[in-house]
Amino acid sequence: MFTLLSKNENAVIVLHEIYGLNTHIKHVCKELHHSGLDVYCPNFLNREEPFTYEQHRQAYDYFMKFCGFDTSMIVNLLTGIRENYKKVIIVGFSVGGTLAWLCSEKNLCDGVVSFYGSRIRDYTDIMPNCPTLVIQAKYEEAYDPYFLQHKLRQYSLVSFHILNSRHGFCDPYNKAYNPPESAKALTLSHNFIAKIIS
């Protein structure tokens, strides 16, 4: 677990991608901490070293074999810290974004931000019980984000945005990094979080 704690009133749980606790995720944690939030980032992989981007297939296979979309670790963490904070928000990227989505119905957090959680498409029956911001890339190879947007339109607590980019576009270390679209996504998430904790 990677944590940044300063006895803040509100907290965020950051859920990493298949690569683990890499430089990008730690940077996200530091930015959120600088904005006045205590940060908890569980390590699903239980590996000291994160996978590299070149190890994408190996990282995916490892995640699916040893982790999968099991929210029990997150639920346990939420349960453990809930009473210490006014508001707790979950922010997830890719597989972490899907896990964040799965946690949105559990009545344990006050808001969810999902960055390109591609497997949400397998869990469209999940009905969020807290405000949920879903940010998707326009150019996804495995599915149509516009169809996903249509499916999630039925949920009043969901705000859905498709940005002109590819999967991983908010990660400066990823070849899909798109600075203008990343800036838009980060502004959306910052404003969303600020509204929840205000």
Indicate if the pLDDT at residue 46 is higher than 90: no
Asked if 1 contacts 43 with a C-beta cutoff of 8 angstroms, the reply is: yes
3-state SS track over the chain: CEEECCCCCEEEEEECCCCCCCHHHHHHHHHHHHCCCEEEECCCCCCCCCCCHHHHHHHHHHHHHHCCCCCHHHHHHHHHHHHHCCEEEEEEECHHHHHHHHHCCCCCCCEEEEECCHHHHHCCCCCCCCCEEEEEEEECCCCCHHHHHHHHCCCCCEEEEEEEEECCCCCCCCCCCCHHHHHHHHHHHHHHHHHHHC
pLDDT in tens, 126-136: 999 999 999 99
Q: Which residue has the tokens 């940077």?
A: 27
pLDDT in tens, 136-181: 999 999 999 999 999 999 999 999 999 999 999 999 999 999 999 9
Indicate if the pLDDT at residue 182 is higher than 90: yes
Tell me the average pLDDT across 33-62. 95
pLDDT in tens, 99-127: 999 999 999 999 999 999 999 999 999 99
pTM (2 d.p.): 0.97
